[in-house]
Structures are given as C-alpha cells and as structure tokens.
Structure 1
Amino acid sequence: MLTITTRTGDYYGDGSSNHIWETHDADGQLIAELYVSTDRHEIMNIWVDEDHRGEGHARALYEAATDQMDIFHAPEGHRTPEGNAFAEAVGGPTVAPYPCDCHACDTLEN
C-alpha cells in the first residue's frame, strides 16, 4: 500500500520554500516526490525512483497536489525533456510568464 504525505520545506538545502508531496511504500521508503514553489505554485521538480518509474507515482502526486491547490507547470524553456513529457502527459496550466534571467529565458525571442 502506498502513502502520500505532504510537508513544506526547501529543495535539498537550497533555502527555497516549497510544498512537497511524497509517495512512500509500506516500509516507508521514498518512491517519488513533487516539489511545488509556495509563491507561484510552479512545479520545481518531480522525481520517481528508477525502479518504480512507469507505475503512475508522478501522476498520483500531481493529482494529489491539484486536489489541494492550483498547480502550474514550469515554462517550457525551464523543463527537462522528461519534465516536458510529464507536463504533456498530465496536462494542466503553465505558470504565467515572470521576469527571469536564466539562460533559457535569455535565448527566447521577445
């Protein structure tokens, strides 16, 4: 039986503020996690243990999160290929444009 838990915290010690949903197995082992920024409700990261990919854990976390609040995908230029495939698979809105000076945003034509 899987358990989804929620908490707030930073992203591996970076000092950011995120809502975090996690899936654990019956033994308490972390299987998947979804980080969503507390300010924009933008998906910052989603991860699934390699041995459990393709089992629906990422979708379950996304659905649990969207049941609790509005969640937005990152701008396409900020997504990894896997993140883009996830966004396309689950659907849902993308965060509204915001000032950003990252490489991906710097290379976009205005």
Structure 2
Amino acid sequence: MTYTITSRMGRYSESDDITHIWEATDEGQVIGALYVTTDTQEVAQIEVDADRRREGIATALWEAATAEMDVFHAYEAHRTPEGAAFAQAVGGEEIETCEISHCYCTQD
C-alpha cells in the first residue's frame, strides 16, 4: 500500500495549542498522524487508522518528524501502553521530567 507523508502546523482540536503535525495520506484521506508540541518537542499524539495498522505508518511518521527536528517521547508516566510500546519500538529520547503543574503522575 502506498501513502504520502507531509508536515504542517495545526491543532489536534479547537481547544489545543498549535502543534507540528505529520500526516500520512492515501488518496487524499488521512490514515495516520503524529502531533509534536512546539514548546518541548514532545509527542502529544500518534494515531493510525485501525485498518492500516501494521504497515509501518507510525514508524514512517516518526522517521519523517525526526528527520526534520528533535522529537521526544512523552514522560513515561504519561504514556498509554500503546505509546510505551511505540517508544520502545522506534527508540529515541524521552522527556525526563513532568512539566505539567497539576499532574496525576508521581515523580521522585
């Protein structure tokens, strides 16, 4: 299967801050996206359509993003199990401390 990866600036939703976005598209449809914060360059969200998983799209999005800028995985306590597996699979650095003032995670 073929797809194209492009990058732009935008919002995940109307209430979110502007982020760097890499999108994988196939025939004009977005099939996957990687959102990276502008302040900490942290992965805020990565998603791939359920029927397109296991095609390497998330990895290709990661590679496209890291070819353009430094990108960091979210603080470990903030990752979903899927996010943790992705971080382990692609490697790379992570944010080392939680920067959120009111957070549910615990730090040493």
Task: Check whether TM > 0.5.
Answer: yes
What are the residue-to-residue correspondences of 1:1-110 with 2, within 5 Å?
1-25=2-26, 27-100=27-100, 101-104=102-105, 108-110=106-108
- Structure 2 counterpart SS, 1:63: helix
Structure with more strand by fraction: 2
RMSD of aligned residue pairs (Cα, Å): 1.1
What amino acid sits opposite 2:76 in the alignment? E
CA–CA separation in structure 1 for the residues paired with 2:42 and 2:54: 23
Deviations 1:20-50 (A, max 9, x none): 000001x211110000001110000000000
Consecutive unaligned residues of structure 1, counting only runs of 5 or more, are none
Aligned CA distance change for structure 1 residues 103 and 33 (closer, same or farther; 3 Å): same
1:78–1:20 distance in 2 versus 1, CA, 3 Å: same
What TM-score does the superposition give when structure 2 sets the normalisation length?
0.92
In the TM superposition, what is the alpha-carbon distance from 1:98 to its structure 2 partner? 4.2
C-alpha displacement of 1:99:
3.1
Aligned residues: 106
Identity fraction in percent: 51
Runs of 5+ unmatched residues, structure 2: none
**Secondary structure in 2 matching 1:73:** coil
Deviation at 1:96, TM superposition (A): 3.4
Query: What's the CA shift string for 1:39-80, capped at 9, x where partnerless?
Result: 110000000000000100000000000000000000011100
Structure 1 Cα separation of the partners of residues 5 and 69 of structure 2: 16
